[in-house]
Structure 1
Amino acid sequence: MARDRGLEELIADDLNSERGIKEKAMFGGWAWLLDGKLFCGARDDGMLIRLGKGNDAWALQISGIVPMISRNRVIQGWVRADPRVYGDDNLRAKLVSSALAFVRSLPTK
């Protein structure tokens, strides 16, 4: 996998007012974490968003969003969005804010 610098910039701009966000290279792309919890990623094969188990049904109804698959296995609560989705500023912002809301609901480490 290769990084997608354009997508990385879009996500970074969406998160510029959020506190406590860390960025780092992961899984052949770029990842964003809040309090050590991974919630979003960017790679050349799309935007990865952690919505949480049972919280992704609304997103999966949108054309261009599919379940995240790793090693031929669906990763529950994660979705992958293609350029049609992450290119839409409002939809990308909704996905990012939903991912942030989910990780904020998790217990602290």
Structure 2
Amino acid sequence: MPYNEQLAERIRAIVGDGPGLTERKMFGGIAFMLNGNMFCGVIRDDLMARVGPDRHEEALASAGARPMDFAARPMKGMVFVSLEGYGSDEQLRGWVEQTLDFVRSLPPKKR
């Protein structure tokens, strides 16, 4: 199933096209990267959010959030968010800003 292009467009509208921002097809969806580090993405109709290990439990308590478990093993620091959690522009902006805050704390990836 293809990823939700409308959700991807909403993310693009939030992040713009600043330095270090790129996109990459990944996991059958699309990932948004800052300096080579993924901060969020879209898989089918879900937002994939990289919140970091310190905010993982807090993120899971949010509406629409659930563990990101590709191989039946949750990935600490990453969550999936359903429409319930990103439906409004304010909700989506909150998730995107949270993921960018975490990824800005990481060193740029070397190519």
Q: Which residue of 1 aligns with 2:42?
A: 42
Higher strand share: 1
Structure 2: unaligned runs, 5 residues or longer: none
Of residues 55-64 and 67-76 in structure 1, the stretch that sits farther from structure 2 once superposed is 55-64
User: Would you say the 8 A contact 2:51–2:79 is kept in 1?
Assistant: yes
Give 2:71's aligned residue: 71
TM alignment of 1:54-93, pairs within 5 A = 54-93=54-93
Q: Distance in 2 between matches of 1:23 and 1:68?
A: 20
Percent of pairs identical after alignment?
36
Per the TM alignment, residue 63 of structure 1 is displaced from its structure 2 partner at its CA by 2.2
SS in structure 2 opposite 1:100?
A: helix
Task: Specify the code of the residue in structure 2 equivalent to 1:87.
Answer: G
- C-alpha separation between the residues in 2 aligned to 1:38 and 1:44? 17
Paired residue for 1:27?
27
Q: What is the number of residues matched between the two proteins?
A: 109
Change (3 A) 1:45 1:71: farther
C-alpha displacement at 1:45, in angstroms? 4.1
Q: Letter of the aligned partner of 1:94 in structure 2?
A: G
Query: SS in structure 1 opposite 2:75?
Result: strand
1:51 lines up with 2:44 in the alignment: no
**Helix, strand or coil at the partner of 2:31:** strand
CA RMSD in angstroms comes to: 1.4
Deviation track 1:50-102 (CA, whole Å, cap 9, x = no partner) reads 01112122221122111111110000000100011121211211111111111
Counterpart amino acid of 2:42?
Answer: A
CA distance in 2, matches of 1:74, 1:103: 19
Q: TM-score of the superposition, structure 1-length normalised?
A: 0.91
